[in-house]
Amino acid sequence: MFVCHGNICRSPMAEMIMKKLVEEQNLSDRFVIDSAAVSTEELGNPIYPPAKRTLRLHNVPFTEHHARQVTRMDYDNYDLLICMDSYNIRWLNRFIPQGDPERKVHLLMEYTGVCRDVADPWYTGDFEATYKDVVEGCSKLLDTIA
């Protein structure tokens, strides 16, 4: 599960990019890939239009999406909760009693060897930079777990 603040930009981009990467390697039957928000600000909203445009530009298919908030059950149901930034990890701690006992919570970019945040295009306006980060992070994540 990919996690960001509102579940309308970075985490749904990561969800759709990872689904494409997994499909390209014929591994779709081995993965359940989803995304969620730590906040309630965008609940029910679709992928933000500039994020959709960026996905289309790079031929990344996407399905209908409605922002939702992460739950305690998500921690139980997913092997990994991949956050876009350290702020998301701090918020996620509200949903995970006693910290992260199973060590499921990680930053996406830590899989690239550089433990840093994926810039939030909501603030930067640079959806292309976010796309590049997410592709690099998802590719390395898939290499690690596949």
Which residues are marked as active site?
Answer: 4, 10, 120
How many Cα atoms within 13 Å fall on the side-chain side of residue 66? Answer: 2
Torsion of CA 134, 139, 141, 144, to 10 degrees: -170
d(CA 12, CA 66): 9
